[in-house]
Amino acid sequence: MTHNKFVNEPQPEAVDAIRAWYRLQRATQALGAHIRSQLGLTGEQLALLRIIGERDAWPLAQLRSRLDMHPATLGQSLARLEERGLVDVSVDTSDRRRRTIALRAEGLAVLSQAPHAGPGTLRAQRHEPERLRRLADAFDDAVVLFGLEECAS
Element (H, E) at 99: strand 99-103
Tens digits of residue pLDDT in 7-65: 677 788 888 999 999 999 999 999 999 999 999 999 889 989 999 999 999 999 899 88
CATH topology of domain 12-148: Arc Repressor Mutant, subunit A (1.10.10)
125-142 average pLDDT score? 93
Which residues is 88 bridged to in the sheet? 102
Q: What whole-number distance in Å separates Cα of residue 88 and Cα of residue 126?
A: 29
Closest listed residue to residue 101, CA positions, set 133, 149, 132, 56: 56
Q: What angle do CA 47, 21, 121 make, to 5 degrees?
A: 25
Q: What whole-number distance in Å separates Cα of residue 103 and Cα of residue 85?
A: 9
How much of the chain exceeds pLDDT 70, in percent? 95
* pLDDT above 80 (res 83): yes
Q: What whole-number distance in Å separates Cα of residue 50 and Cα of residue 35?
A: 13
* pLDDT above 70 (res 73): yes
User: Could you tell me if 87 and 102 are in contact, meaning their C-beta atoms sit under 8 angstroms apart?
Assistant: yes
* pLDDT above 70 (res 6): no
The pLDDT value given to residue 3 = 57
Please state the domain extents for the chain: 12-148
Q: What whole-number distance in Å separates Cα of residue 56 and Cα of residue 8?
A: 56
Which residues is 59 bridged to in the sheet? 100
